[in-house]
Amino acid sequence: MIINPTSELGAKVTRRVEEQTLAWLTTVASDGTPQPNPVWFLRDGDAFLIFSKPGQAKLANIARHPRVSLNLEATEDQEQITVFTGSAEVAGAASVGQDLLDRYAARYADRLPVIGMTRGQYEAAYTVVIRFTPDKLRGW
């Protein structure tokens, strides 16, 4: 497991992953330009799940170059920075079990009205899942 919850950094990161709801997924465009995108995420064991609408540039970027990074937002005091790097793979949302869909929906239930969607509308629109498996963690 990339996050060791018994270390000082691991304990901080575990807490931040549970509390934060926004991260930045950075893929690489065909011309080599980094492409950061804000995303919602859910930890699933050693991986993170990120849902996407089909046809998004980040999906083409991952297909071409699966090495990506996921950065958590800095804390207000700028004291905690978290950057994961690893590999991403793309699949249909149907590949995710109902339990994970329910956990994801519960995590973002209060955010859906902000983007003007119900759970059903969100699940109908965001039909692609990105499974990001980190192999390195940097932070403080």
pLDDT recorded at residue 43: 93
Q: Which residues contact 7 (CB under 8 A, 6 or more apart)?
A: none
Distance CA 118, CA 50 (A): 18
- Domains of the chain and CATH, by start: 8-139 (2.30.110.10)
Length of the chain: 140
Q: What is the pLDDT of residue 77?
A: 65
Per-residue pLDDT in tens (0 to 9) along the chain, 140 residues: 577 777 877 788 888 888 889 999 999 999 999 999 999 999 998 999 999 999 999 999 999 999 999 999 876 766 678 999 999 999 987 788 888 999 999 999 999 999 999 999 999 999 999 999 999 988 77
Instruction: State residue 75's pLDDT score.
Output: 67
